Amino acid sequence: MSKTIEGLHYSEDHEWVKVEGGTALIGITDFAQSSLGDITYADLPEAGDEVEAGEEFGALESVKASSELLSPVSGKVTEVNADLENAPEKINEDPYGTWIIKVELSDPSQVESLMDAAAYEEFTNK
């Protein structure tokens, strides 16, 4: 049974969003890291890149497969988690404590359309 955390927003592509002021921290859910398996590489954008909701912004590689990262929100990437270059396995170890990118939200209302923890749990149990 994968974990969720109250207060985060969840996308159908298994990313989570944590809003801090006008910035969104984006990571992948426990369900996603568990399905992927051991993550060996994170292909990430650079600070300053624009991301669009629903569009690919990078990819995670596990031993067996690669998985695209789809942004749940639109905006400008303000920061990329530099730890992931050498230690992408942190995502497996602590999926909710390991943000991947920070995005300056261009449309904060997009967050409203994401799921809360209970709805996401129901979504993954389908």
Residues of the shown chain interacting with another protein in the complex, contacts defined by CB under 8 A: 37-38, 40-41, 43, 59, 61, 63-66
Alpha helices in the chain (DSSP H): 30-36, 83-86, 90-93, 117-125
53 burial level (CB within 10 Å; 0-12, 13-18, 19+): middle
**Residues forming beta bridges with residue 42, ordered by sequence position:** 60
Strands (E), 11-114: 15-20, 23-28, 39-43, 50-51, 56-62, 66-70, 75-80, 101-105
Q: Which is nearer to another protein, 13 or 117 (CB)?
A: 13
Residue 7 CB, nearest distance to another protein (Å)? 29
Residue 105 CB, nearest distance to another protein (Å)? 24
Q: Which is nearer to another protein, 19 or 87 (CB)?
A: 87
Residue 93 CB, nearest distance to another protein (Å)? 12
Residue 22 CB, nearest distance to another protein (Å)? 28
Q: Which is nearer to another protein, 11 or 62 (CB)?
A: 62
Which residue, among 17, 124, 32, has the nearest Cα to 72 in the 3D structure? 17
DSSP, collapsed to helix, strand or coil, labels residue 104 as: strand
Q: Which is nearer to another protein, 43 or 117 (CB)?
A: 43
